[in-house]
Structure 1
Amino acid sequence: MNILCVIPVRGGSKGIPRKNVRDLGGKPLMAWTVEQAVSAKAGLDVVVSTDDPEMADIARNYGADVPFMRPAELAEDTTATEPVVAHAINFRIAQGRTPDAVVLLQVTSPLRHPDTLDRAVQQFFDTGVDSLVGVVPTPPFLWRLGDDAADTPVTAEYDFERRPRRQELTPQQIPYRENGSLYVSRPKLYLEHNNRLGGKIGLFILDELEGVDIDTELDFALAQQQLAALGKGL
């Protein structure tokens, strides 16, 4: 079984400059995800796609393969993730290493349990889905702003007249938030549909502690706290 794991890291970052190499818990942010991928028992083919020499060196130091430097046209602020992953897939195919599945990991979600990636890969193949998306449970008490022209200015996403207690909710009643941590997909979704999701989609439910997505200084501070809670902190 050939499972390609693509970890995209770009040199440019407007929110937090150079955040992918910033120290988090004693190592660069991106190193957490690279180490998790390399140490997975599934034997992932871990490829870091980057346009940045420093990030390429960090990736190699933590055990990933950096077989190419990402082309400039795939490293712009407006570049979507899908063509970056497709580029890595096509590179491996050209080497005669066609993947059976593709794992996409985002380094801005560095908190994962040691067995998370293996469980995700196992679920992907056991359930026969075409794509698997990592999600975290969220509180169900959601509201939406209504149309200004509508009689009702706001609408509830739940029955507020019969407010349930959270501990009584069934898994089917709980909303799940896609946090960008991980995806497992059939290669054809990237190559034929330019999408990480499609076909029969499954949910891989992550622990709430794994739900952090670093985009701001506050996110960094929260990640430090979560690392300590997971036993991986300073």
Structure 2
Amino acid sequence: MASAICIITARGGSKRIPHKNIREFCGKPIIAYSIEAALASELFDEVMVSTDDEAIAAVAREYGASVPFMRSVAASDDHAATSEAVREVLDDYERIGKRFDAVCCLYPTAPFVRAPELREAFDLMREGATSVIPVTSYDYPPLRGFKIHVDGSLSYAFPEYAAMRSQDLPAMAHDCGRFYLATTDAFQSAGSFMTEKTQALWIPARFVQDIDTPEDWEVAEQKYRAMIGRDAS
């Protein structure tokens, strides 16, 4: 890619885990891991943080990211999609005469991301993908899941798969919630990172953890310590 930007989206309004994006995770603010991975990859002309929070902006700059613009109120709303924040950043750069061929949206709570993973995603783009999304396996086949009705009763969500053996079900994966990568043209055309030629980047489940609750945070720290223990051995 001729030019690329990494946008780390870190609004300040976390409610379930206050100050989530700059809370200490295994010794440093969790956003630092995302910044350091992006910088270490040496893939990006710009590694920036999109935030509406001055405390987050200060931490971001401390760890080497730029914060050339503060995020608007509209793009910081609880209901604002990630793609809206990304579009706003791209528009802000366009106004100062900067345009990028590729855009990566990296989450601020992604301590498992490593520079080689980002490079692998870029390799997939060079091979013809217009976007790349890291995915992993479900703990249990979702096609065998239940719907819970208002009265507490259950029914199969997908009755057509109820009698099938697990190994015969169509393979499915879910978004890891760590980063998305696309050509800027494909992102702008699709309005999201799910583009015409989206390629999966497979991530082992042991390196994936949603961090939405304090309990999730504890599990993520345990997984992270186990991961760096393996790296050191």
- The TM tier, using the shorter chain, reads 0.7 to 0.9
* Equivalent-residue separation in structure 1 for 2:209 and 2:90 (angstroms): 27
2:155 to 133, 153, 156: 153
Partners in 2 of 1:133 and 1:121 — Cα distance?
A: 11
Query: Deviation at 1:140?
Result: 5.4
Question: What's the TM-score, normalizing by structure 1?
Answer: 0.85
Is the deviation greater in 99-108 or in 112-121?
A: 112-121
Partner of 2:70: 69
* Structure with the larger helix share: 2
Q: Which residue of 2 aligns with 1:141?
A: 141
**Kept in 2: contact 1:38–1:44 (CA 8 A):** no
C-alpha distance in structure 2 between counterparts of 1:86 and 1:3, whole Å: 14
Instruction: State the SS of the aligned residue for 1:184.
Output: strand
**Which stretch has the larger CA shift, 173-182 or 33-42?**
173-182
Q: Is contact 1:131-1:198 (8 Å) kept?
A: yes
| Correspondence 1:78 to 2:79 | yes
1:104 aligned residue: 105
Kindly indicate whether residue 59 of structure 2 is the aligned counterpart of residue 58 of structure 1. yes
* Distance verdict in 2 for CA 1:163–1:212, change over 3 Å: closer
Give the number of equivalent residue pairs: 223
- Aligned partners of 1:101 and 1:73: how far apart in 2? 24
Segments of structure 1 that go 5 or more residues without pairing to the other structure are: none
Q: Could you say which residue in structure 2 is the equivalent of 1:39?
A: 40
Alignment partner for residue 206 of structure 2, among 206, 209, 212?
209
In structure 2, give the amino acid aligned to 1:13. Answer: S
CA shift, 1:109, in A, is 2.7
CA RMSD after TM alignment: 2.6
Partner of 1:224: 221
Question: How far apart are 1:125 and its partner, in Å?
Answer: 1.8
> How far apart are 1:217 and its partner, in Å?
0.8
Counterpart of 2:182? 185
After superposition, the Cα gap between the structure-2 partners of 1:77 and 1:146, relative to the gap in structure 1 and judged at 3 Å, is closer
Secondary structure, in 3 states, of the residue corresponding to 1:103? strand
Per the normalisation by structure 2, the TM-score is 0.85
User: Contact 1:99 / 1:187 at 8 angstroms: preserved in 2?
Assistant: yes
Distance 1:232 1:82, change over 3 A: farther
Aligned-partner Cα distance in 2 for 1:191–1:161: 40
SS at match of 1:4: strand
Q: Contact 2:111/2:224 (CA < 8 Å) preserved in 1?
A: no
3-state SS, counterpart of residue 56 of structure 1? helix
Equivalent residue of 1:132, what SS?
Answer: strand
Structure 2 Cα separation of the partners of residues 232 and 80 of structure 1: 35
User: How far did 1:93 drift?
Assistant: 2.4
CA distance in 2, matches of 1:42, 1:56: 22
